[in-house]
Homo-oligomer: A and B are copies of this chain.
Amino acid sequence: MPKIGMEPIRRASLIKATIAEIGNVGSLEVTVSRIAKRAGMSSALAHHYFGSKEAMFMAAMRHVLTVYGAEVRGALAAADGPEARVRAVIRASFSTSNFRREVISAWLNFYVLAQTRDEARRLLAVYQRRLVSNLTHGLRPLIGARAAQVACSIAVMIDGAYLHAALSETPNATRAVGRVEDYLTLALNAG
């Protein structure tokens, strides 16, 4: 019983199912059939809307980045003053939504994909530049010219702490945030 206007609904379902399935299996070795089944349709329909398995991955990752970006913007809007803005960006990177198993899985596999697929690499670069830019703007009023340098270091530390936390036996976002904020404090007091 075909209904009209299904495209956006189907696409959203498929993206959600793709992320869930990647989280379940832990890798990109998921089948289009399983994704489609989870989304309540045939695999042929998944191909109809996305064209290929890889396109589904990319759309899924773009969705993860969109959600993350919205969280960052929300946290920035609620922050009062430059230092609070920097801390908001850091904390948003370790939000509970970023620590769901399937999102962790998506990130790790995204790194793998970024080695060989230019589209993934570009997307990753965009995310990193935005992160550094957000941090730099917050840091500039606090430490002036050192802002760019420190922002890069914080970005590196966020990714490292995320990786460590994600792969530790007991993932602990709070500890990870603490580690990055300790560095921030150190950098701010070293004027």
Contacts and interface: CB of A to CB of B under 8 A. Distances in A.
A112 interface: yes
Interface in A71-123: 104-105, 108-109, 111-116, 121
Contacts of A26: 112-113, 115-116
A121 to B, nearest CB: 7
Interface in A113-168: 113-116, 121, 124-125, 128, 149, 152-153, 155-161, 163-164, 166-168
A190 B186 CA distance: 7
A114 to B, nearest CB: 5
Total copies of the chain: 2
B28 A167 contact: no
A111 B167 contact: yes
A105 B167 CA distance: 17
For the complex, would chain A's binding face be called helix, strand, loop or mixed by DSSP majority?
A: helix
A49 interface: no
Given A153-B182, A160-B161, A186-B187, A111 B114 contact: no
A115 B111 contact: no
A88 B75 CA distance: 39
A106 to B, nearest CB: 11
Given A153-B182, A157-B157, A160-B157, A115 B104 contact: yes
Interface of A: 25-29, 104-105, 108-109, 111-116, 121, 124-125, 128, 149, 152-153, 155-161, 163-164, 166-169, 179, 182-183, 186-187, 189-190
Given A111-B163, A157-B160, A189-B190, 17 more contacts: A27-B28, A105-B112, A108-B108, A109-B112, A124-B167, A149-B182, A153-B157, A153-B183, A156-B164, A156-B179, A159-B160, A159-B163, A160-B160, A160-B161, A160-B163, A183-B183, A186-B186
